[in-house]
Homo-oligomer: A and B are copies of this chain.
Amino acid sequence: MAKCRVGLWIVGAKGAVAVTTILGLVSLKKKQSSTVGLASELPRFQNLDLVDWSQIVIGGHEIRKTTLLDEIQQIHEHNHVFDSNVISKCKTEISKIEKNIKPGILVNVGETIKKLADKKLLQKKETPKQAMSRVMRDLKKFQSTHELDNVVVVNLSSTEPAVDVKKIPKTWDKVEKTLEKADTCPLAASSIYAAAAILNGMPYVNFTPSVGSSCTAIEKLANDREVCHMGRDGKTGETLMKSVLAPMFAARHLNVMSWVGHNIFGNRDGEVLDDPVNKQAKVTSKDQLLGQILGYSPQTLVTIEYIKSLGDWKTAWDHIHFQGFMGTPMTLQFTWQGCDSLLAAPLAIDLFRFTELSARRGETGLLTHLACFFKSPTGVIENDFVRQYQLLETWAEMVGL
């Protein structure tokens, strides 16, 4: 039996996480990279019939005017990551992927993101509806051109300004009516992409804190169309730490009095988050899990600040002040120094592979067993990382039989 061929469609295809994902996939295919960092390559998931590197075709949407290779080169130089030999060996293949990347959409993305956009794109006059139709056409064309069994859409774009989910009607019928005009549309681009994918019958994964498919109308739509999807906000660093440390304090009945987390970094994501309207969505996503895990709400503080010199090297300092036996105050501090794109890209690849398998198996609706990959897993209350991970392991055991 011939192996299936699947498409990975990246929204924000020339962003740092995206180009790292692309370089990573190409280098894996060419055996230039190890599988370190990819959970889907752990022995415990080897029974699963996940797609391998040779089966994947990559395309995507992007609003900026740049090239994949320029972006890769910049990340390489600014952050002292990637091996220059690996880049060389992957160049030709990456140039081919370039052709699969189409202009993105700008519905309600906010001023800071618009400033980054290609001017031509800004001049384009299209209603949200037209934008959605264009996305749907691009996706279908990608599938047919490359003869793909399926296409998984993964959102890796910049964080949009916080959207008031309450203002989004509860059914897709009603939402659709708002798309005729820009000024009545309550959805931002991430949700337009999500709906476009789902309407096409294609799975959607939201790696960002933007709303994406996480609203009642689109969740229902996915159920109706029997498409699977999941989000939101990839859990890469500081929040991952929170989701393993908070359960420890809870299990030991240590009383967390305050938890302060300062995050500094200097990539484009950082620039976008420097705009308070974009930042809010992120901070909320990083902050909400403590209360759930601990069962009470300690004083918390989360800051995210743009420090140019750090580039993609996200540094987080967390200070946890907790009370032990007989009222004794104690302290845990940690410093996390991780290169954001290199932490995020393998998770994006894992999510793509697990989601593709779920789709192939006919799973529909929210893929809650993928909760461990997200800061704010839609439809899942559990935030303890190990217990979230057990959901994935249980699923894998069932699927792997």
Q: Which residues of A does B touch, CB under 8 Å?
A: 20, 23-24, 27, 33-39, 41-43, 77, 80-84, 86, 240-241, 244-245, 247-248, 251-255, 257-258, 260, 262, 264, 295, 299, 301, 303, 305, 307-310, 315, 317, 319, 321, 323-339, 342-343, 345-346, 372, 384-387, 389
Give complex CA distance A329, B81 in Å: 9
17 A-B pairs (CB sep. < 8 Å): A23-B326, A24-B325, A35-B253, A36-B254, A37-B255, A37-B324, A37-B326, A80-B80, A83-B326, A247-B386, A257-B309, A260-B262, A264-B319, A324-B342, A330-B338, A332-B334, A332-B335
Contact (Cβ within 8 A) A325 B260: no
A244 x B253 contact (CB < 8 A): no
- For the complex, what is the distance from the CA of A287 to the CA of B183, rounded to whole Å? 43
A259 CB to nearest chain B CB (Å): 9
Instruction: Give the CA-CA distance A247 to B82 in the complex, in Å.
Output: 26
Contact of A325 among B253, B303, B342 (CB under 8 A): B342
The answer to whether residues A319 and B319 also contact, given A247-B386, A346-B324, A386-B387 and a CB cut-off of 8 A, is no
By the criterion CB–CB under 8 Å, are B342 and A24 in contact?
no
Q: How many Å lie between the Cα of A82 and that of B80 in the bound state?
A: 9
A157 CB to nearest chain B CB (Å): 20
* Minimum C-beta distance from A225 to chain B (A): 32
Contact of A244 among B23, B244, B257, B264 (CB under 8 A): B244
Q: Is the CB of A240 within 8 A of B244?
A: no
Chain B residue numbers with a CB within 8 Å of A253 are 35-39, 41-42, 346
Closest to A23 in B: B326
Contact of A36 among B247, B327, B334, B389 (CB under 8 A): B327
CB of A297, distance to nearest CB on chain B (Å) = 13
Complex formed: what's the CA distance from A179 to B60 in Å?
68
Which one of B305, B325, B389 contacts A343 once the chains associate, using CB atoms below 8 Å? B325
Q: How far is the CA of A157 from the CA of B4 in the complex (A)?
A: 59
Q: Determine if B27 and A326 form an interchain contact, defined as CB atoms under 8 angstroms apart.
A: yes
**Cα of A36 to Cα of B42 in the assembled complex, Å:** 38
Q: Are B251 and A385 in contact (CB under 8 A)?
A: yes
A301 contacts B309, C-beta separation under 8 Å = no
Whether A343 touches B324, Cβ cut-off 8 Å, given contacts A245-B244, A338-B330, is: yes
Indicate the member of A33, A345, A387, A389 with the most B CB atoms within 10 Å: A389
Query: How many Å lie between the Cα of A240 and that of B254 in the bound state?
Result: 13
CB distance from A390 to the nearest CB of B (A): 9
